[in-house]
Structure 1
Amino acid sequence: MPTYDDDLRLAHVLADAVEPTSTSRFRAGDLQVSTKPDLTPVTDADLAVEDIIRAQLKRARPRDSVQGEEHGTDGSGPRRWIVDPIDGTKNFVRGVPVWATLIALVDDGVPVVGLVAAPALGRRWWAGVGTGAWSGRSLSGAKRIAVSGVSKISDASMSAAGWRTWAELGKRDAIVELMDEVWRVRSYGDFWAHMLVAEGAIDIAPEPELAVHDMAALVPIVTEAGGRFTGLDGRDGPWSGNALSSNALLHDEVLARLGIPTPSAD
C-alpha cells in the first residue's frame, strides 16, 4: 500500500499558508460577499484561500489535478486534490466560528488524505490512509482520535439538519422518527458534525445534501478513526450528493431507516 505521509505534511503546509488570510477576513468590516449562480454566498476570503492553495499545489504537485469549490477542476490524472476554501461560508459571513478549510487528496477515486483546519476553533483534524486519525492544533500537538462504542440507537447522540431537503427526499417522517428514538439530537452542521463523529463525541451524522468538496476531506478522517462514511445510498465515499457518517456500529440501521436507493438499484 502506498504511503501518503508527504502529502499529509503538504496539506498542513497549505493550511498554514492560508490561515493568516482566512482569519484576517473573519469578522472583517469590509468583507466582500456576493452570490453565486446556485444562490450560495462566496466571500473574498473563499476566493483568496483557494487561489493560494492552487498556486502552492502547482509548484509542489504539478502533475496532480486540483478541484476547488470556486474555480472548478484543472488538470487530469489519478491524483486529484479537492479543496473547499471555506466550508461553512454562511457561518463565516455571520461571524460564527464554525468554519474550516478542507483539503483532500483522492488517488484513483479513493480519498486517501484529509485535513480539516478550523482556526477560529483552534483545531485541526487529519488522516492519511493507514496512519490513523488525529486532532490538535498542529502536527506537534496531535492526539489520536477514535469513534465511540455506542451500539444502540437509544443511546446514540446525533447531529441532524437540512429539514427542507429531508422533506424533498420523502424522508422527513423517517428522520423525525429517528430523532425521537436517539438519546440526544443537536445540529452542529457542516464539517464539525462529522469531526465530532470521528472523535467519538457523537455517533451519527446524516446530511441530505452535500457536494464532493464538502465531503472528500472528511472521509479519511472518519474511516481512519474507525467509523464509516457513505452516501445515503450506502456507497462508500463522498460521491452520492449526501452523507452518513457514523461510528460504524449504527451505520446499517440508520441506512435502513434513511437510505435512498440509487437509480440503478430501483
Structure 2
Amino acid sequence: MLLPDVAFLSQLADAADAETLPRFRTGTAVDNKRAADFDPVTEADRAAERAILTAIAARHPEDAVLGEEFGASGKGDRLWVIDPIDGTRAFISGVPVWGTLIGFCEAGRARAGIMSQPFTGERYVADGEAAWCLHRGVRTRLAVSAVRLVEEATLFTTSPRLFAARGAPNFEALEARARLTRFGTDCYAFCMLAAGHVDLVVETGLKPYDIVALVPIIEQAGGIVTRTDGGRPESGGDIVAAGTRELHEAALAILNG
C-alpha cells in the first residue's frame, strides 16, 4: 500500500486543529495524569486524539494506531503514532510552541509525518521523499544546516533538569561547548532543526509518540536522528538529532562520555 499523502496528513491535522485551537488560551481545565509529579492533560488532548483516530479509522480501518491518550489498538506493519498535543505544559501556559504530532510507520520505520501548530499556522510535513513547511499557502522545502562543529552549533533541549538521572555532567559538557543553548520548545525544536535554524537537539526519556512523526521530517530534510546508543529512534528513549553527520557523531561522543 502507498504511504499517506500530504493531503491526508493535512486532513488529520485539520481535525486536530479544530479541537486544539479553540481551547488554546481559554483557561481550559487541566488534569494530572501522574500523582508523583505534574503530567498535565486537557480535554484538548483527548478531543484531538479522538478526532484523529476517527479520521484514520474512516480511511484506513485496517491500520494499527498508538496514541498518547488512548493507547494502542490493531496489529500489522502499518502503524499511526499520535501525540495530540506535544508540549501540553506550553499549551496550558499559553505559549505557541506545542504541536500535534501524527506519524506513520511501515514495518517499524517512520516514513511520513506531520507537526501542526495551528496558532502560528505552520505545518511541518514529510511525504516519504522530502520535508516541507506549509505556512499561509506557501510551501517551502526544508533543509538542515551545514554546521559540523559543536562549537558553532545552536543546541536545544526541553530542560537540562531532565538529564539529572541520565548523565547531567555529559549534557553539561555538550552545553559548555555549544555556541548557543536554548530550552523549552518540545517538538518545535526538531522542526526548527529540519528548517535549518537549529543545529542540534538532544532529549531524554521520550516516548514513541514524542518522536515518530518528527523522524521523517528530520531525515527527509537531510538530518540525522538516533538514540544516544546509535540505534533507530522510533521506540523513543534518549534522542540526538543533528543537521550533519559530523555534528551528530561529535554530540554522541560527548554524551556517551
Shared fold, TM over 0.5: yes
Distance, in Å, in 1 between the alignment partners of 2:41 and 2:178 is 35
Considering only aligned residues, what root-mean-square deviation do their CA atoms show, in Å?
Answer: 1.6
2:99–2:187 contact (8 Å) kept in structure 1:
yes
Distance, in Å, in 1 between the alignment partners of 2:70 and 2:193 is 30
> 1:188 Cα deviation (Å)?
4.2
Structure 1 equivalent of residue 151 of structure 2: 154
Structure 1 equivalent of residue 161 of structure 2: 164
> 1:37 Cα deviation (Å)?
3.4
Whether 2:62 is the aligned partner of 1:66: answer no
Structure 2 equivalent of residue 102 of structure 1: 101
Structure 2 equivalent of residue 12 of structure 1: 10
The CA deviation string for residues 165-209 of structure 1, in whole angstroms up to 9 with x for no partner, is 31211x212211221211111114210111111111011101112
Structure 1 equivalent of residue 204 of structure 2: 208
Structure 2 equivalent of residue 186 of structure 1: 182
Whether 2:88 is the aligned partner of 1:89: answer yes
The TM-score with structure 1 as length reference comes to: 0.91
Structure 1 equivalent of residue 169 of structure 2: 173
Distance, in Å, in 2 between the alignment partners of 1:172 and 1:96 is 27
Distance, in Å, in 2 between the alignment partners of 1:161 and 1:96 is 14
SS in 1 for 2:105: strand
Distance 1:240 1:102, change over 3 A: closer
Distance, in Å, in 1 between the alignment partners of 2:160 and 2:16 is 33
> 1:9 Cα deviation (Å)?
2.2
Structure 2: gaps spanning 5 or more residues: none
For 1:144, the aligned partner's letter is: R
Distance, in Å, in 2 between the alignment partners of 1:33 and 1:103 is 23
Distance, in Å, in 2 between the alignment partners of 1:111 and 1:214 is 12
Q: Give the number of the structure whose residues are more often strand, by fraction.
A: 2
Matches within 5 A, 1:137-148: 137=135, 140-148=137-145
> 1:3 Cα deviation (Å)?
4.9
Whether 2:90 is the aligned partner of 1:116: answer no
> 1:121 Cα deviation (Å)?
2.2
Structure 1 equivalent of residue 214 of structure 2: 218
The TM-score with structure 2 as length reference comes to: 0.94
Distance, in Å, in 2 between the alignment partners of 1:160 and 1:82 is 22
SS in 2 for 1:242: strand
47-56 or 172-181, which moves further after superposition?
A: 172-181
Distance, in Å, in 2 between the alignment partners of 1:99 and 1:126 is 15
Structure 2 equivalent of residue 75 of structure 1: 74
SS in 2 for 1:96: coil
Distance, in Å, in 1 between the alignment partners of 2:247 and 2:5 is 32
> 1:250 Cα deviation (Å)?
0.4
Matches within 5 A, 1:23-62: 23-29=21-27, 31-37=28-34, 39-62=38-61
Whether 2:151 is the aligned partner of 1:136: answer no
Distance, in Å, in 1 between the alignment partners of 2:228 and 2:236 is 7
2:211–2:236 contact (8 Å) kept in structure 1:
no
Distance, in Å, in 2 between the alignment partners of 1:240 and 1:63 is 25
The CA deviation string for residues 101-120 of structure 1, in whole angstroms up to 9 with x for no partner, is 10000110000111000112
For 1:197, the aligned partner's letter is: L
2:173–2:254 contact (8 Å) kept in structure 1:
no
